[in-house]
Amino acid sequence: MEKKKMKLWKKILIIVIILFLIFLAFTVRKMIIMYSLENKLNESRQQSNIYEKTTMDYSIAVLGNLEKYYKDGIEKNVMLSLDGTTKIIQYIYPNERKVFSEENGHKTLTISEESNGDAQTYYPMFTSYTEANSFLELLFNSITSKIVTENINGKECYVLSGKYNSNFLYGETTTNIKAYIEKETGITLQVVEFYEENGEQKQFKREYTYSFGTVTDDDMKEPDETQYELLESR
């Protein structure tokens, strides 16, 4: 009887070890994928000339589409509200930020200093869903996330999802979020948020398009400051 119990415990222990090794292998695989994608994304961000456009599903979006231009260390963001009444153009320089706003025909300009000396630290091109500030955060995100492969518009992507991933922001009604990240560049091409509304399952989609080497000096040209009311600078 004792021998049978020992054999049973050995079998259980072997099964547990096998399951643990399988879990460990999948976790390590996800860690490698996330780490590799983040490195590729950082390489993409090192380009000196980048254009990025965010297109949102108008059924839920509050703000309009966003365009980003980056050339020679300067970033320009352009946002137009859905109803067309508000337009915001923001220039981020290494030590200064200018915000040109137009709302119902009223134009204002705000100028502020960039105390960190590197605005890109806070406003980088391309959203990251694979960022981790430590090994433990990378490990946690890998354990709590699911990664599969899918083709989007002819581009091979990893589809990343995970309710407890530190890079995802879940709302009260959000049930799942999927980020489609291009394997070659680490750039997110699409994010789909699934949520509940009045008992129905719905989704909100954001699509990202980009290009390198297409931004011109005319694209980066500032509006005429004399046409704007200068507000108190910070």
Is the pLDDT higher at 61 or at 31? Answer: 31
Tell me how far apart the alpha carbons of residues 187 and 157 are, in angstroms, rounded to a whole number.
9
Per-domain residue ranges of the chain: 1-46+128-186, 48-126+210-234
Cross-strand pairs, 97: 92, 112
- CA dist., res. 40 & res. 185, Å (int): 5
pLDDT classification of 118: cutoffs 50, 70, 90? very low
CB 91 within 8 A of CB 219: no
Instruction: Please tell me the distance from the alpha carbon of residue 61 to that of residue 80, in angstroms, as a whole number.
Output: 12
- What residue ranges in 120-221 does DSSP mark as E strands? 146-152, 155-161, 174-182, 188-197, 200-212
Q: Across residues 92-101, what is the average pLDDT?
A: 91
Average pLDDT over residues 6-31: 79
Q: Which two tokens stand for residue 79?
A: 């946002």
Percentage above 90 pLDDT, the chain? 50
- Measured CA to CA, the distance from residue 103 to residue 87 in angstroms comes to 7
pTM over 0.85: no
Higher pLDDT, 107 or 197: 107
Q: Where residue 134 falls among pLDDT bands split at 50, 70, 90? A: very high
Alpha-carbon gap, residue 203 to 183, rounded angstroms: 24
Within the chain, residue ranges assigned H as helices are 2-45, 135-143
Residue 83, burial from CB neighbour count under 10 angstroms (0-12, 13-18, 19+):
exposed
CA atoms lying within 13 Å on the CB side of residue 179: 24
Beta bridge partners of 155: 152
Tell me the three state secondary structure of residue 120.
helix
Residue 84's pLDDT band (cuts 50, 70, 90): confident
Average pLDDT over the chain reads 86
Express each pLDDT in 165-215 by its tens digit: 889 888 888 888 999 999 999 999 999 998 888 888 888 889 999 999 999
51 and 216 in contact (C-beta within 8 Å)? no
If one compares 89 and 173, the residue with the highest pLDDT of the two is 89
